[in-house]
């Protein structure tokens, strides 16, 4: 099998793609577009470049998720032309701007000052300002700050412009080997074990139609997440783990949940950024195996039977053991009652 071919199911440990260009190693790149390329740029029919100076408004600018070559010409032009760039981390963005020789002033805009900063920026936008929002990597607003100010700008009647580019979830999806016809992006799985299991159980019980499920995950939680997926969806559940997308050590682990888990467990350390994808076509094996895993409702029923606990006490106990709130346990319990009914 050559480097570029891989069976859809077989686990491919080595990088299944040719190595991506070095992460953050693009050589000095100066697009042949002037600061204001609006002057007379012609484009093939159906495509356009803008012929006017940058319009006032809010620009949500995607930045690379590892490989600097993934910046777009338009992103560079916008970042050069706006009055200010609001950054998740000004130091991180300074590296990107420095690389492309952009000297636009920056301002911090992160989870902790999002609300206060958004109001300030909205005032500037109301007086005709041009503001760009960037996150540390990828698309602002996707598991990153950006959505709050976009919503406020829309509510205030301020134009909001998406400047598309790299995104980890979609990059992983298109190379996963799973269907991209229907998919759901879930962001990060809950970090607490009980909440994570409850979310996965809920997802499994709603796999009525084929669709791909996409999660962001961290290296220190991936083994636990995969162990839960193996238990809840069954060891034969097909998954893809996309690591270090667009970077030097880009890697796809494609296979069953059990195989990918075993492969990661065998490594001395697990590093890098990662996207986890679950193929939402339940296999008969997965369904059989999953049905033997006790759900929250099973655990409640079992406690009521074995220890003669009331419903309320059993729910409290299960909530405690799963490290979730009583109301969350109650909601999951009601959902399973509805499913059974
Ligand atoms: N806004 C970003 C986007 O558009 O993809 C996502 C930001 S979120 C805070 C960061 C998470 O995205 C990481 O923990 C990882 O799960 C995923 N991610 C970001 N870059 C990645 C990469 N190069 N390879 C794999 N996953 C990545």
**41 in any annotated domain:** no
d(CA 262, CA 227): 10
Give the range among 71-75, 189-193, 282-286 with minimum mean pLDDT: 282-286
Helices then strands, each counted (H, E), the chain: 12, 10
Percent with pLDDT over 90 in the chain: 63
User: How much is the pLDDT for 40?
Assistant: 34
For residues 177 and 153, state if they share a domain.
Answer: no
- Does 253 lie in the same domain as 147? no
Closest CA to 9 of 327, 286, 197, 332: 286
Residue nearest (by alpha carbon) to ligand 1 atom 23: 245
Report the mean per-residue pLDDT for the chain. Answer: 84
Confidence class for position 285, pLDDT limits 50, 70, 90: very low
Distance CA 197, CA 303 (A): 19
Domain assignment of residue 63, yes or no = yes
The residue among 232 and 282 whose pLDDT is bigger is 232
Higher-pLDDT residue of 315, 14 = 315
Evaluate whether residue 1 is within a structural domain: no
Structure tokens at 99: 């690389």
Sequence-distant (6+) residues with CB within 8 A of 51 are: 38, 39, 40, 41
pLDDT at 17 over 60: no
Q: Please return the burial class of 333, using the count of CB atoms within 10 Å of its CB with bins 0-12, 13-18 and 19+.
A: buried
pLDDT, tens digit (0-9, with 9 covering 90-100), for 99-108: 999 999 999 9
Please list every protein residue whose CB sits less than 6 Å from any atom of ligand 1: 65-66, 135, 137-139, 142-144, 167-169, 216-218, 242, 244-247, 273-275
Report the residue among 138, 244, 248 best suited for mutation to probe ligand 1: largest number of ligand atoms under 8 A from its CB: 138
Question: Do the domain assignments include residue 125?
Answer: yes
Backbone angles phi, psi at 131, to 5 degrees: -125, 135
- Rounded to whole angstroms, the maximal C-alpha distance in the chain is 80
Average pLDDT rounded to a whole number, residues 317-332: 80
What is the number of structural domains in the chain?
A: 2
Protein residue with least CA distance to atom 19, ligand 1: 168
Phi, psi angle pair for 277, to nearest 5°: -125, 135
Find, among 85, 125, 133, 123, the residue nearest to 107 by Cα. 85
124 and 177: one domain? no
pLDDT tens-digit series, residues 242-256: 999 999 999 999 999
Residue 216 CA to ligand 1 centre (angstroms): 7
The pair of three-digit structure tokens given for residue 160, joined into one six-digit string = 């909001």
Claim to verify: residue 182 and residue 148 sit in the same structural domain: no
Q: Considering only 17-26, 89-98, 155-164, 197-206, which range has the smallest mean pLDDT?
A: 17-26
Residue at a domain's end among 110, 133, 163: 163
pLDDT value of residue 341: 55
User: Is the pLDDT confidence value at 307 over 60?
Assistant: yes
Contacts of residue 280, Cβ cutoff 8 Å, sequence gap at least 6: 178, 182, 207, 209, 210, 211, 212, 213
Rounded to the nearest angstrom, the distance between the alpha carbon of 137 and the centre of ligand 1 is: 7
Burial class (CB in 10 A: 0-12, 13-18, 19+), 254: buried
Contacts of residue 267, defined as CB under 8 A and 6 or more positions apart, other chains included, come to none
> In the predicted model, what is the mean pLDDT of residues 111-128?
94
Residue 52 alpha carbon to ligand 1 centre in Å? 33
215 alpha carbon to ligand 1 midpoint, in Å? Answer: 10
Give the model's pLDDT for residue 282: 55
Residue 39 predicted with pLDDT over 50: no
Atom of ligand 1 nearest to the CA of 247: 23
Nearest alpha-carbon partner for 148 in 60, 56, 55: 60
- Residue among 65, 103, 97, 55 nearest 250 (CA): 65
In terms of pLDDT, which residue wins out, 83 or 316?
A: 83
Q: How confident is the model at residue 291 (pLDDT cuts 50, 70, 90)?
A: very low
Domain that holds residue 156: 57-163
Q: What is the 3-state secondary structure (H, E, C) of 27-81?
A: CCCCCCCCCCCCCCCCCCCCCCCCCCCCCCEEEEECECCCCHHHCCHHHHHHHHH
* pLDDT in the model for residue 248: 97
- Residue 109: count other Cβ atoms within 10 Å of its Cβ: 28
The pTM score is 0.77
Residue nearest to atom 16 of ligand 1 (CA): 216
Q: 146 CA to middle of ligand 1, Å?
A: 15
Tell me the per-residue pLDDT of 144-161, one tens digit each, with 9 for 90 and over: 999 999 999 999 999 999
Who wins on pLDDT, 5 or 86?
86
Residue 275 falls inside a structural domain: yes
Atom in ligand 1 nearest the alpha carbon of residue 141: 1
Same domain, 142 and 194: no
Confidence of residue 324 (pLDDT cuts 50, 70, 90): confident
Q: What pLDDT does residue 105 have?
A: 98
Q: Are residues 202 and 152 in the same domain?
A: no
- What is the rounded CA–CA span in Å between residue 240 and residue 253? 6
For the cut 90, the answer to whether the pLDDT of residue 194 exceeds it is yes
Do 69 and 111 have their domain in common? yes
| 60-74 exposure pattern, b = at least 16 Cβ within 10 A, e = fewer | bbbbbbbbbebbbeb
Higher pLDDT pick, 62 / 27:
62
For residue 283, name the pLDDT band (cuts at 50, 70, 90): low
SS3 109: coil
Look at residue 316 and tell me if it is in a domain. no
Using the atom order of ligand 1, give the atom closest to the CA of residue 166: 4
**Cα–ligand 1 centroid distance for 205 (angstroms):** 27
- Which CATH number covers residue 281? 3.30.950.10
Q: Three-state SS for 163?
A: strand
Structure confidence at residue 251 (pLDDT):
98
Answer yes or no: do 122 and 188 share one domain.
no
Flag whether pLDDT at 274 surpasses 50: yes
Local confidence band at 339 (pLDDT 50, 70, 90 cut-offs): low
Gap between the Cα atoms of 298 and 329, Å rounded = 12
Q: Is residue 48 part of a domain?
A: no
Q: Tally Cβ neighbours within 10 Å of residue 100.
A: 17
On whether both 183 and 249 belong to a single domain, the answer is yes
State the distance from the centre of ligand 1 to the C-alpha of 47, rounded, in angstroms.
29
What is the per-residue pLDDT for 1?
31
In a domain, 34, yes or no: no
Do 216 and 120 fall into the same domain? no
When computed from its CA atoms, the radius of gyration of the chain, rounded to whole angstroms, is 24
């Amino acid at each position: 099998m050559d480097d570029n071919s891989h069976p859809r199911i077989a686990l491919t440990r080595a990088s299944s793609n040719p190595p991506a260009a070095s992460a953050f190693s693009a050589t000095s790149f100066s697009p042949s577009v002037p600061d204001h390329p609006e002057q007379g740029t012609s484009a093939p029919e159906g495509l356009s470049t803008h012929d006017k100076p940058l319009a006032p408004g809010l620009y949500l600018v995607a930045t690379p998720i590892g490989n600097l070559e993934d910046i777009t010409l338009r992103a560079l032009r916008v970042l050069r032309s706006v009055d200010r760039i609001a950054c998740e981390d000004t130091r991180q963005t300074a590296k990107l701007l420095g690389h492309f020789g952009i000297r636009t002033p920056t301002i911090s805009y992160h989870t902790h000052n999002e609300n206060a900063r958004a109001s300030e920026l909205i005032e500037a936008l109301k007086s005709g300002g041009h503001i760009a929002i960037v996150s540390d990597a990828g698309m602002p607003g996707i598991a990153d700050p950006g959505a709050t100010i976009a919503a406020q700008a829309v509510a205030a009647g301020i134009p909001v412009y998406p400047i598309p580019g790299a995104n980890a979830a979609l990059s992983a999806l298109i190379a996963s080997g799973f269907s991209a016809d229907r998919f759901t992006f879930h962001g990060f799985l809950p970090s607490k074990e009980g909440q994570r299991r409850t979310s996965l159980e809920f997802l499994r019980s709603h796999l009525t139609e084929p669709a791909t499920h996409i999660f962001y995950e961290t290296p220190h939680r991936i083994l636990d997440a995969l162990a839960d997926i193996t238990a809840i969806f069954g060891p034969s559940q097909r998954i893809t783990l996309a690591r270090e997308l667009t970077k030097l050590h880009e890697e796809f682990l494609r296979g069953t949940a059990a195989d990918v888990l075993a492969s990661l467990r065998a490594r001395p350390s697990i590093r890098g950024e990662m996207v986890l994808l679950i193929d939402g076509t339940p296999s008969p094996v997965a369904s059989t195996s999953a049905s033997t895993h006790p759900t929250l409702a099973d655990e409640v029923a079992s406690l009521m039977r074995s220890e003669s606990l009331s419903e309320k006490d059993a729910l409290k106990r299960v909530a405690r053991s799963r490290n979730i709130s009583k109301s969350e346990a109650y909601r999951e319990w009601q959902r399973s009652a509805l499913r059974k009914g």
